Structure formats: structure tokens, C-alpha cells
């Protein structure tokens, strides 16, 4: 669930201390849901999986990186997988290879679909959500969320069973 405050894009970019963290959508500052333990555990497991393979796949994995998905819109995915060949950006403008959103109990699907469409508009090739309650990964493509068990970015030689990530969850 998010609450909205209206400010300019410049003011949003100058204020990096939103508590809780916030996205910017067409003049509105939208606070993000406060994470639960399960949310944080999944976020950490996803990031850890990609960090463990960072050199092999020539990627960087970061959590909560602010990105300009299109003019007037800034989103903050739970985990972003970046091409290591690209320069580091404090606010990403180069599309990541993949983004992951971990669902929170307060998330509204209408808002989530809007966010997923923003990722499409940015040109992100792999867009994923995971539901901590069910441990189900879904990939967003062609305006549809579909359950999936494999991550496949063949062009980069990155393929794996998503269950490998679940194995990294803490007991």
C-alpha cells in the first residue's frame, strides 16, 4: 500500500532520505510497503544467488536501486541484476538485465501491474515477482504474469532453476 505526496521531480531527486523509501510517479511520491521478515529473507536470497554468480555471468546484483524507468517515473525494485559492462549509476537509467519484486501483504496488484509495465517501458528483459507465502515465482511478459520455474536469459548464458534461490532462504 502506498501513500502519495505531490512534489517536483527535482525535489524528489534531492531528497534521498525518504522514510520509508519512496518511488516517484508523475508528480506523486509513493511510499513503499514496510518489509516483513519473509520479504527481507527472499530479497536477500535473490540478491545472494546473483552475487554468488556475479563473475561467472558478468553481472552486479543490488537491492533497492532507484531507477528512472521513463520521464517523470522512478521505481525501486527489490533486486536488480545489472550488466557489469555498463557503468555504475547512482540512479539507474540503463535497463537492468532483470528485476525482482517480492510481494508484501500490503501490495495491491493494480499498483504492481503499473510498476511492471514501467519496467517493460524501460526495456528490462526479465521481470519477476515472488510471493513469499507460496514461494511461487511469476514472470511478467506480454501483459501477463505466468508461474515459472526457470530463469532463462539465454543470450547471456544465464539459465537456472528458480528453486536454487529458495534453497538460500534462512531457516
Distance CA 167, CA 44 (A): 12
From residue 63, how far is each of 14, 27, 34, 70 by CA, in Å?
A: 20, 24, 15, 20
Distance CA 136, CA 152 (A): 16
User: Which CATH number do you get for residue 100?
Assistant: 3.90.1570.10
pLDDT at residue 86 in the model: 98
Does 51 fall in a domain?
A: yes
Does 138 fall in a domain?
A: yes
pLDDT at residue 4 in the model: 58
Does 30 fall in a domain?
A: no
Backbone Cα Rg of the chain: 15
Does 134 fall in a domain?
A: yes
Does 12 fall in a domain?
A: no
Tell me what the mean pLDDT of segment 81-102 comes to. 97
Domain that holds residue 75: 35-166
Q: What is the pLDDT of residues 33-78, one digit of tens each?
A: 777 899 999 999 999 999 999 999 999 999 999 999 999 999 999 9
Distance CA 165, CA 159 (A): 13
Distance CA 121, CA 141 (A): 12
Contact 46, 81 (CB under 8 A): no
What is the domain count for the chain?
A: 1
Does 21 fall in a domain?
A: no
Does 10 fall in a domain?
A: no
Tell me what the mean pLDDT of segment 65-93 comes to. 96
Q: What is the pLDDT of residues 113-134, one digit of tens each?
A: 999 999 999 999 999 999 999 9
pLDDT at residue 1 in the model: 43
Tell me what the mean pLDDT of segment 7-11 comes to. 82
Does 133 fall in a domain?
A: yes
Amino acid at each position: 500500500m502506498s501513500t502519495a505526496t505531490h512534489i517536483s521531480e527535482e525535489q524528489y531527486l534531492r531528497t534521498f532520505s525518504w522514510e520509508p523509501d519512496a518511488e516517484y510517479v508523475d508528480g506523486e511520491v509513493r511510499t513503499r510497503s514496510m518489509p516483513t521478515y519473509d520479504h527481507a529473507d527472499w530479497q536477500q536470497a535473490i540478491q545472494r544467488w546473483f552475487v554468488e554468480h556475479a563473475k561467472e555471468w558478468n553481472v552486479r546484483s543490488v537491492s533497492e536501486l532507484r531507477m528512472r524507468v521513463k520521464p517523470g517515473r522512478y521505481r525501486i525494485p527489490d533486486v536488480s541484476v545489472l550488466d557489469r559492462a555498463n557503468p555504475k549509476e547512482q540512479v539507474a537509467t540503463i535497463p537492468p538485465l532483470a528485476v525482482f519484486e517480492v510481494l508484501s501483504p500490503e501490495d495491491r496488484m493494480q499498483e504492481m501491474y503499473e510498476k511492471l509495465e514501467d519496467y517493460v517501458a524501460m526495456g528490462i528483459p526479465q521481470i519477476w515477482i515472488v510471493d513469499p507465502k507460496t514461494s511461487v515465482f511469476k514472470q511478467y511478459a506480454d501483459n501477463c504474469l505466468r508461474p515459472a520455474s526457470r530463469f532463462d536469459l539465454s543470450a547471456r548464458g544465464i539459465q537456472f532453476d528458480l528453486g536454487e534461490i529458495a534453497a538460500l532462504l534462512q531457516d
